[in-house]
Amino acid sequence: MAQLAHHVFFTLKDRSDESIETLLAACKKYLDHHDGLVGFSVGRRDRELDRPVNHDFDVSLHTIFADRAAHDVYQTAERHLQFIEENKENWAEVKVCDSLLD
């Protein structure tokens, strides 16, 4: 079975450092340590890398799941849903990129 990469790019309404830190902390609290999660990282955009190919966002979340089934369970997990509920009001845009890994 192929692993599934789930990458999420958040652009915030309030783009302050404090707001970014709040979302980073929420990602670490609610989105790490799920069953079937084999890779987790979260970070802020490096604004010094200002190239035409870089997209504008504030926080990036990178999760790797053992397989599609583990990802599907995560999508409806209570902690994942709580993360969304507590943070969605500050999201101006969310881009999700899911891919099967070779």
User: Residue 9 belongs to a domain with what CATH number?
Assistant: 3.30.70.100
Whole domain around residue 9: which residue ranges? 4-46+57-100
Read off the amino acid at residue 79. R
Tell me, yes or no, whether 78 lies in a domain.
Answer: yes
Residue 51 lies inside a defined structural domain of this protein: no
pTM recorded for the entire structure: 0.95
* CB-based contacts of 43, cutoff 8 Å, min separation 6: 24, 59, 60
Instruction: Count the domains in the chain.
Output: 1
Q: For residue 52, is it within any domain?
A: no
Q: Would you state the pLDDT for residue 52?
A: 86
Report whether pLDDT(100) > 90. Answer: yes
Tell me: pLDDT of 33 over 90.
yes
**Is residue 22 in a domain?**
yes
Three-state SS for 32? coil
The pLDDT of 50-64, averaged and rounded, is 93
What pLDDT is stored for residue 50 in this prediction? 84
Longest dimension (CA), the chain: 41
